[in-house]
Structure 1
């Protein structure tokens, strides 16, 4: 069979080559259009990549949108705060409610340690939880030594282990909170907390910061935020996480029917998003409303403006960042091996 008689084979998905063995030139781009670039995917199919406004990272567009939305919010809040009726409202409800006479003054040292440990565990929980949610094919697995246990990914083992440490720390925090009277600072003791919280929110939104004296008393918006975080969001994270964990008694058919795992999954992720939102807003306001004094309250155990709290805060961030990057299979596998079997 001669060359002319042989059938020609054309690969699908690839442009036919010309007689000279060269691919045909691409059609000229329209004026003003982004120039296309052809690349080949691993499957062999061509992929067209365009460079232009559409290729701008979404995160940049998101930041610009957030800045514009924040500007609109500030202007709207300032206009609302300028109304006579709102000025009278903020005079009647300045943004905080008085504490009971027996309420303690100041923030003890144990609360500073609890604050660090809570942030430390929560950041690792968010990191490992996101990894569990997005991981498609785990490389390393963990199997407990318990008689009835199932194989789970090493990431899930780390997530549940940090959850347990966070839970233990939380129990200690609650006990100390009520034993020392500090609960009066984070649990509303009057219905007046609601209009005062609205007043504080309007002051924050208009960038006319409410009077801050966290060493003695939090404003009402802070009280509600701390109350929801400690007594609503944290318990929801615990009960939904426990339902999804390997500790849940899978053979208890009645419990499984009463509390379907789908309910836990539907709540667990939004609760995590709430914690992320709370941390971002909390850190932003701490730094924007008197960073040195606020950090001294939180970490230094003193009502002063110096660099003690900032230094401790910086060291805590370095520790958290170091553990964040160290939490990899090469480090986690030996730790998990102390409690069970680790393998692929």
Structure 2
């Protein structure tokens, strides 16, 4: 069979794809205009005398207790990397499991033949187990080393200081800070919410939706309906994605080299070592993303159950 002319095998953009790109363009323009309006409004507010006095009184952070640790230990950097690595893969597999209409493969437990699920759901739950274990280790070390004082509010001054820090960020005039010693109050509240609110919500809602939840516990299921967990789980995931995007953006905009040294090299310095470790971390995440393929996942899953690929 002869080859087709190039003009016959190329595809022209369809009207539907053109409309889709136009919608995204409009959304992008609206977001840019909205961001510009927020910045202008915040700068106008900061020009008002009462607001300027408020910022002077509450600069964005409050002093930590006298026995609070200074600096970020190496274990915190490793925890940060493992959390990011697992979270990226968890979000990917979670979205894939929601969008797939016909699972490419099914996994059946060796211990309980009635326990069957999509191979994507099995991978998602397996990653969840490692993420939870990493989180438990993190919380234990957090309280054992006193690092909890950096992310758990110890004064009601956290509220006005968080408002002040948010206004300063919105005006693009960053709050003065030294994260090696103390996070600003907006950071503290966001980290506290992520660790002690969003993460537990993700765990308890994910557990309710998983195949390991007792299906015949009628009273428990009535007290905690599946629909409630389902309604909460996706917004929590969206929160994690938004947090990561905002976190990375501010890390890069508010002194990238020093911040990356804090987070990935446990060093109070402005050189390129932290950036190098961060680049290696991104390569590891990319490798993990690439390894999510049938030839790899099927072999791992087969060690714990039976894999039937369609």
Q: Do both share a fold (TM > 0.5)?
A: yes
1:313 alignment partner, one of 278, 282, 286: 278
More helix by share: 2
Q: Which has the larger radius of gyration?
A: 1
Residue equivalent to 1:182: 147
Residue equivalent to 2:209: 244
Residue equivalent to 1:217: 182
More deviation, 232-241/141-150: 141-150
- Map residues 119-268 of structure 1 onto 2, 5 A cutoff: 119-147=84-112, 149-268=114-233
How many Å apart are 1:149 and its aligned residue? Answer: 3.5
Q: Please give the per-residue CA displacement for 1:82-118, whole angstroms capped at 9, x wherever unaligned.
A: 1001000001100001100010000000000000000
Distance (whole Å) between structure 2 residues aligned to residue 128 and residue 319 of structure 1? 17
Residue equivalent to 2:59: 94
* Secondary structure in 2 matching 1:334: helix
Work out whether residues 116 and 211 of structure 2, in 8 Å CA contact, stay in contact via their aligned partners in 1: no
Structure 1 unaligned blocks of 5 or more: 1-47
Distance (whole Å) between structure 1 residues aligned to residue 245 and residue 104 of structure 2? 32
Structure 2 unaligned blocks of 5 or more: 1-12
Give yes or no for the alignment of 1:104 onto 2:43: no
- Map residues 20-31 of structure 1 onto 2, 5 A cutoff: none
- Map residues 36-55 of structure 1 onto 2, 5 A cutoff: 49-50=14-15, 54=19
How many Å apart are 1:52 and its aligned residue? Answer: 10
1:113 alignment partner, one of 50, 65, 78: 78
Residue equivalent to 2:259: 294
Distance (whole Å) between structure 2 residues aligned to residue 53 and residue 143 of structure 1? 43
* Secondary structure in 2 matching 1:56: helix
Residue equivalent to 1:333: 298
**Using CA pairs below 8 Å that are at least 6 residues apart, which structure has the higher relative contact order?**
2
Work out whether residues 107 and 301 of structure 1, in 8 Å CA contact, stay in contact via their aligned partners in 2: yes
Work out whether residues 149 and 246 of structure 1, in 8 Å CA contact, stay in contact via their aligned partners in 2: no
Distance (whole Å) between structure 2 residues aligned to residue 180 and residue 52 of structure 1? 54
Distance (whole Å) between structure 2 residues aligned to residue 55 and residue 96 of structure 1? 44
Residue equivalent to 2:10: none
Residue equivalent to 1:4: none
Residue equivalent to 2:7: none
Q: What is the TM-score normalised by the length of structure 2?
A: 0.93
Q: What is the TM-score normalised by the length of structure 1?
A: 0.84
How many Å apart are 1:212 and its aligned residue? Answer: 2.1
Distance 1:52 1:241, change over 3 A: closer
Q: Please give the per-residue CA displacement for 1:154-189, whole angstroms capped at 9, x wherever unaligned.
A: 100000000000000000000000000000000000
